[in-house]
Amino acid sequence: MQISASQHIERIESAIRGGLAARSPVAASWARSATLHRLDPAARKAEGRLTAGEIALARERLGALLPLAAPHLDRLFLTVGGLGACIVLADAEGIALERRGHAGDDAAFEAAGLWTGTLWSEAQAGTNGIGTCLAEGRAVTIHRDQHFLARNIGLSCSSAPVHGPGGQMLAVIDVSTARMDLPEAIGGLIGATVAEAARRLEADLFAAEFPGARLVLVPGTDRAGGALLAVDADDLVIGATRAARVQLNLTGDLAATPRPVADVLGLEARDGFDAAERAVLTRALARSGGNVSAAARALGLSRATLHRKLERRPSGRGC
């Protein structure tokens, strides 16, 4: 059962007075909304809406992210749209720039502000999925009366950040629903689905940034976590997703100061010309299916020279 607006406002004020912000992330966001952003939970004014020109400029700033995001938003809507949900992609300022929704729900979601051009930063709308995700840099689910503004307590919102190839936050994917009968536990499942969509989009952005590189999954992580390294032809790490940076404690511009992948992953490196030559010979033989003549041609060597080099290799695969 939904609480009244007056009950909601009293609950927020009581939580802030009682110092609950130190123990609850939601209450901490309420405190930011009230004290830092000077918002009134009883405010009835709708979120600000950008002009068509301002929306176009914001979309332009996101560049390739929007076309890459489109299929992920479409799949996400197919998964959760039946729950009476709409999908919103907002930029790092909290501006809603893309949305998916059923036509029959459009009027209600537009009235709630879940529409392109609406500002959902915490400074503008208090505690909410998009704004609090941006403020805290993590995936969040804000369920109904966890919102700061009383006018938003009919919404349940799950949001996840989208980071760029350099680890910077670029956007937020949000799923919001106004269904009264949606259990909070279902909101958690929606949140996991949103986070997965965000990680998949990050992987696409990363691959687009390093088209000629080999993408390596950090050992000990699963693909859904998105901990990827971009490795060049010289086995140097030239890029890392945010998840990989956190996992491996990587900082700075990796393209400007690349590091050997073996060093980054803490693996034993086989350095030296002999080791490098053995690796080249082994790869050439593998590509030729063990045909020495074909491998020699690929390497620009005579068959006799390649035979001599192979005879110098220690016994054992690849050595």
pLDDT on residue 278? 76
Q: What is the mean pLDDT of residues 223-245?
A: 90
Domain's final residue, options 188, 207, 226: 207
**187 and 278 together in one domain:** no
For position 128, which CATH number holds?
3.30.450.40
**181 and 286 together in one domain:** no
pLDDT on residue 1? 58
Q: Where are the alpha helices (DSSP H) in 63-183?
A: 65-80, 106-112, 122-125, 129-136
Q: What is the mean pLDDT of residues 269-274?
A: 63
**Residue 39 domain flag:** no
**298 and 197 together in one domain:** no
Give per-residue pLDDT as tens, 18-72.
999 989 999 999 999 999 999 999 987 666 689 999 999 999 999 999 999 999 9
For position 293, which CATH number holds?
1.10.10
User: What is the CB-side half-sphere exposure of residue 260 using CA atoms within 13 A?
Assistant: 8
Domain that includes residue 295, residue range: 273-312
- Please state, in angstroms and rounded to a whole number, the distance separating the CA atoms of residues 23 and 40: 22
Whether 133 shows a pLDDT value over 70: the answer reads yes
Q: How many domains does the chain have?
A: 3
Phi, psi of 202 (to 5 degrees): -60, -40
Radius of gyration for the chain, computed over Cα atoms and rounded to the nearest angstrom: 26
pLDDT on residue 309? 81
pLDDT on residue 318? 41
Pairing assessment for the beta strands 156-163 and 236-240 based on DSSP bridges: unpaired
**57 and 195 together in one domain:** yes
The residue ranking higher by pLDDT, 295 or 25, is 25
**Residue 196 domain flag:** yes
Q: What is the dihedral of CA 52, 96, 149, 182, to 10 degrees?
A: 130
Against a cut of 0.85, is the pTM above it?
no
Taking the alpha carbons of 36, 37, 38, 42 in that order, is the dihedral positive or negative?
Answer: negative
**Residue 31 domain flag:** no
**240 and 141 together in one domain:** no
**176 and 281 together in one domain:** no
Whether 275 shows a pLDDT value over 80: the answer reads no
